[in-house]
Structure 1
Amino acid sequence: MTTKAIAALRHLDLDERQVKTYLALLKLGPASIRDIAAESGINRGSTYETLKQLATKGVVSYFPKGKRRVFQAEDPDRLLNLAESKQQALKQAVDQLRSEIIPSLKQTQSPLSPGNVRFYEGDDGIELVLRDLLESTAKDPERGYSVISTKSLREHLYRPFPNFTRERIKRGIKVRVLAMGEGGDEAELAERKWLPAGTASDASYIAIYPPKVAMISLAAQNYPVVVIIDSAAIAYTQQLLFDTLWGLI
């Protein structure tokens, strides 16, 4: 079995020992604990506990043979049933989060929570901002969002999310860009104006998507540092400044 296939089984809440035990039993056919342990390379005590866990999940069964138990792997189709059950449970959890839990938690959240300002680092931080942009602005794609970016940061921006522009266009989200320095690709649903920039200008990217403002800069060795401010007042002020500058160019 390939590494990718084993990884897929791990997504079914089967740990490494359970996967090894199931594969060993599938290869052996009906077998004793001793034979399963030998095939999987797991000690007998752990093998027995693992077989009980797999039986609970419905992918292993057993039957008596004399004074011993003989175990057998259920048809691999059971794994699909396991995946579908997990998928259904996850969908129910997502629906409950959306309809009940998240609204309830938002009501108890303090408006002055320090969570209104969040810091992230690295490519993961950039990807989080880009995905947050899509999710937030998709509610009003016609309104879109506004961006101020420098030439020196643009080459790093979409590295962790290369399909961002394609996804933005697919969702019908508009963007206006004030680009500092030459360059920048033209794209659908995007308006771009340029500002002159000196050669020593620092790398930065500011996205305004009320009630949020996201700022990305590069530290030493082009390491991304990200700040997201969730404040309607700050976003309004930044949007006003952007609109004023946009109208003057």
Structure 2
Amino acid sequence: MRMQDASKLIAGLQAFGLDKREARLYLASLRKGPSSVLELSRATHLPRTTIYPLLDRLTQEGVFRTGKQKNRAVYIAEEPGVLDRRLRERQAVFSQITDELSTIEEIGSSSPSITYYEGTEGLKRLWRRIYRSGVKEYHMMTTGVGFLEYVKKPYLIKQIIGDRVKQKIMSYQLLPENRYTKEIVANDVNELRESRFLPANIELPATIILFGQEVAFVTTRKENAMILVTSGDIAVSLRSLFSLLWQCAKMPERDEGVWGAGGA
């Protein structure tokens, strides 16, 4: 085998998680078949004292199997197809937790930072971050319809509102007063939310969400962006402004509503 080919094979096995010595052991065993430690030592030029712990680890990882041949212990390299299947299984398992790991990384940062999200998946990631942040309430200024530019109403009701209610996270929201927002507010009690009205002529093209030490801005679908600012100073300042508006805002008349008019 040419040196270039051997280097390529070793690099591929390193991608599987083997170091260079382990890769040499695996290749030697594939070529020779079931082999004793002495035979592998001769084939790889590695001392037996080095090979024993390597084989122990590789056997535990499922890269080698042990067996008996003519009353002697031998090590058998697992078939390449089996290793490929295991690598795919590992990738699938890891892929299931990448979003959660990213959220942990984002939340764990204590320094001021800005994170950008885009599109429908970006909005879903933003809400997952809010709900995994550990807050028991958030404050929001919205038209009440902006999220429907990104997700369909069933998702808004079941996933965004439904998950919040399950986790008992309270929502306080300010909305311009109109027919549609009155329908939303009618469901406040059922949807664990308290709302107040701003004047009908107030323009809020971007939704603002305050939670913990973070502030999220969700633009219209035309601009297609979510901007998350992590800053205790900014969060406190905007929360103070929200509190001032809340005190001046109009309290709605309470009517018995039905689940799922909208809002968040």
Please report the TM-score for the alignment, with normalisation by the length of structure 1: 0.52
1:244 aligns with 2:244: yes
Q: Which 5+ residue runs of structure 1 have no aligned equivalent?
A: 1-50, 60-81
- CA distances 1:70-119 after superposition (whole Å, capped 9, x unpaired): xxxxxxxxxxxx69x859x85xx99xx79xx969xx6xx7836xxx0122
Determine the C-alpha separation between the residues in 2 that align with 1:243 and 1:110: 25
Q: CA deviation at 1:226?
A: 1.1
Q: Following superposition of structure 1 onto structure 2, how do residues 211-226 of structure 1 map, counting pairs within 5 Å? A: 211-218=213-220, 220=222, 223-226=223-226
Match of 2:176 in 1: 180
The number of residues matched between the two structures is: 157
User: CA, structure 1 residues 55+123, in 2 after alignment: closer, same or farther (shift >3 Å)?
Assistant: closer
Match of 1:121 in 2: 118
1:54 aligns with 2:81: yes
User: CA, structure 1 residues 172+203, in 2 after alignment: closer, same or farther (shift >3 Å)?
Assistant: same
Q: CA deviation at 1:52?
A: 4.0
Aligned partner of 1:198 among 171, 183, 201 = 201
SS of the residue corresponding to residue 132 of structure 1 reads helix
User: CA, structure 1 residues 151+166, in 2 after alignment: closer, same or farther (shift >3 Å)?
Assistant: closer
Q: CA deviation at 1:224?
A: 2.4
1:146 aligns with 2:173: no
Determine the C-alpha separation between the residues in 2 that align with 1:102 and 1:117: 13
1:120–1:227 Cα contact (<8 Å) kept: yes
Alignment RMSD, CA only?
A: 3.9
1:210–1:236 Cα contact (<8 Å) kept: no
- CA distances 1:141-181 after superposition (whole Å, capped 9, x unpaired): 2xx00000024525325439432100000001001010124
Q: Percent identity?
A: 21
User: Which has the greater radius of gyration?
Assistant: 2
- CA distances 1:13-68 after superposition (whole Å, capped 9, x unpaired): xxxxxxxxxxxxxxxxxxxxxxxxxxxxxxxxxxxxxx9432336x7xxxxxxxxx
When structure 1 is superposed on structure 2, of 206-215 and 190-199 the one drifting more is 190-199
Q: Following superposition of structure 1 onto structure 2, how do residues 131-142 of structure 1 map, counting pairs within 5 Å? A: 131-136=128-133, 139-141=134-136
1:219–1:225 Cα contact (<8 Å) kept: yes
- CA distances 1:169-197 after superposition (whole Å, capped 9, x unpaired): 00010010101242242242100111123
> After TM superposition, where is structure 1 displaced by more than 4 Å over at least 4 residues in a row?
none
Determine the C-alpha separation between the residues in 2 that align with 1:150 and 1:118: 23
SS of the residue corresponding to residue 191 of structure 2 reads coil
Determine the C-alpha separation between the residues in 2 that align with 1:219 and 1:132: 20
Q: Which 5+ residue runs of structure 2 have no aligned equivalent?
A: 1-77, 250-264
2:169–2:192 Cα contact (<8 Å) kept: yes
Determine the C-alpha separation between the residues in 2 that align with 1:140 and 1:152: 24
Please report the TM-score for the alignment, with normalisation by the length of structure 2: 0.49
AA aligned to 1:198 is N
AA aligned to 1:215 is F
